[in-house]
Chains A and B, each alone.
Chain A
Amino acid sequence: MTATDPHRVVEAVWRIEAAQLIAKLTRIVRDVGLAEEIAQDTLVIALEQWPKQGVPRDPGPWLMATAKHRAIDLVRRRIRYGEKLAEIGRALEIVPVDEQEAVDDALDDHVGDDLLRLIFISCHPVLSTEARTALTLRVVGGLSTEEIARAFLVAEPTVGQRIVRAKRTLAAKRVPFELPPPDQLAQRLTSVLEVLYLIFNEGYSATAGQDWMRPDLCREALRLGRVLAGLMPDQAEVHGLVALMEIQSSRTWARTDGAGAAILLGDQDRTRWDRLLIRRGLAALARAQEIGGVLGPFVLQAEIAACHARARSTQETDWSRIAALYLVLSHVWPSPVAELNRAVAVGMAQGAAEGLAIADRVQASGALDQYPLLPAVRADLLAKLGRTTESRQEYVRAAALTRNAKEREIFQAKAESCAPTESAAGLAVDVGP
């Protein structure tokens, strides 16, 4: 009979509470970097005290109360410092006027709102996409710099610098701790959703390295999406993104074989798809449909994913509906990748020649010259049309273009055998636009 290691208990409570703590503290001190420092200090106090005195009865509220006191102390000291400066006749510029109000604010409870604001700040347009991604995982996800670096195959100091610079930029640009005004909300929400989906996609179809996917990134993006859905339950696109991520995550088991080799969508054993995640995904999609309004890109992609999830096999998939959904998607969110996916769906619904015609137009546009799935899709369609030699050449090109080792193995194997079967469906659709 042993209790768990107190340090690991502290760490677990910290993981659960960190984002809420930083959100609350940012509202008090109006600075994400400073808020994170205070939160870290609080963690240190817990690490010192809990192993000696025992884990408090309610560890979450304990952390919150301790952190809040430190933040309010800090603000009070700054106010007093400002008053002292004023007494000796110096400028008051360094003290924001509304700090007393901030202390008052700290006494009421708006953690949910604060967390939402923190998510919007982390995904603020003044930051580069890389900075948004790193900062979101750090302050909202509570991942360590090391974990983020490992997930993105980047050196740890690089991630550290990105995060430090992001916090400095937010402070320098005086980004206010508030939700964007209503007229900008939709646009900013799009940026938030894009960051989450970018994190998910990097996990789901790792662009480089030995791993076919990095499940930790998928899980974190999905978790953050679920958090966002709780905070913004009236936004169809938020539920659409969650639905998309739940359904795509349901395939994780089926995407590799026992030896770790990748298996494309069309070749997957669908009995290995996770029914619980599919059920959750379809429920989230139903929520999005209830809310209604103009269909956004994430709801549309979730609808496509749902078509796959509902089908018992590649053959039984409603390819006409998928092709139609991609056509709508290409109007809402024009993207050559979505168009390539439409080529696959049309190839299944109407015939390889019709699909190839679309893929050829994508190729002619030159927009996807470096994208390995373009030659891969063409290779599959060419093979179906009996044009074996061209098909092999395209698989070789695909293998040369990809930076992902597992994906390269698939394309090389297909080039060698070059008698592809029914697997055209797998190539593009499982990756997302």
Chain B
Amino acid sequence: MRYLVILKAAQPDGPPPAELMEAIAKLGMDATNAGVMLDMGGLAPTANSARIAVTAGAVNVVDGPFAEAKELISYVVYDVRSKEEAVEWAGRFMRLHRDLWQGWEGEAEVSRVFGPEDFAPQG
């Protein structure tokens, strides 16, 4: 089953600690070597983003930055056998931030990506 994890965070000022970056790289290697990480990438600050909304019949484009306290930081795509497995991998990632970056706060959203198995005919 494929899961998309999107990380949102309010980063403390300054660059992330080197230990954290090292630990993240190692965790990424672990997940790759376990055959579960399909894809990952960092996301630029929302100053570079755009939102397109349809409201009351109008299509409106708004450029970033947006006002939220949290920014979208990165995404990962996991291929695992259960939701709990995806949560465990994402949880390891979050624990590293807790342990290695003082004052960091954020959240990761773990969403199932539909696969062929979800559309298998019944019976």
Give me the interface of A with B, judged by CB distance under 8 Å. 4, 8-9, 11-13, 15-16, 57-60, 112, 215, 219, 222-227, 230-231, 252-253, 256, 258-260, 276-277, 280
Contacts and interface: CB of A to CB of B under 8 A. Distances in A.
B84 A8 contact: yes
A13 B35 CA distance: 15
Interface of B: 32-36, 38-39, 77, 79, 81-85, 87-89, 92, 95, 115-117, 119-121
B36 A223 contact: yes
Contacts of A259: 121
A258 B117 CA distance: 12
A252 B115 CA distance: 9
A29 B110 CA distance: 39
16 contacts: A4-B84, A8-B82, A9-B84, A11-B84, A12-B84, A12-B85, A15-B85, A219-B81, A223-B79, A224-B35, A226-B32, A227-B33, A230-B32, A253-B116, A258-B119, A260-B120
A252 B87 contact: no
Given A15-B81, A260-B120, A231 B33 contact: yes
A225 B35 contact: yes
Contact of A222 (B35, B84, B85, B121): B35
Contact of B116 (A215, A222, A280): A215
Nearest to A259: B121
A31 B94 CA distance: 37
Nearest to B117: A215
A59 B35 contact: no
A260 B35 contact: no
B33 A112 contact: yes
Contacts of B82: 8, 11-12, 15
Main secondary structure of the interface of A (DSSP, over half): helix
B116 A12 contact: no
A259 B89 CA distance: 35
A222 B92 CA distance: 23
A407 to B, nearest CB: 16
A252 B79 CA distance: 15
Contacts of B36: 223
Nearest to B81: A15
Contacts of A11: 82, 84
B98 to A, nearest CB: 10
Nearest to A59: B88
A11 B115 CA distance: 22
B77 A276 contact: yes
Contacts of B116: 215, 252-253, 256
Contacts of A223: 34-36, 79
Contact of A260 (B85, B89, B121): B121
Contacts of A8: 82, 84
Given A230-B32, A252-B116, A58 B95 contact: yes
Contacts of B88: 9, 12-13, 16, 59
Contacts of B117: 215
Contacts of B119: 258
A230 B33 contact: yes
4 closest residue pairs by CB, A with B: A226-B35, A12-B84, A260-B121, A230-B33
A259 B120 CA distance: 8
Nearest to B85: A12
A276 B34 contact: no
A87 to B, nearest CB: 46
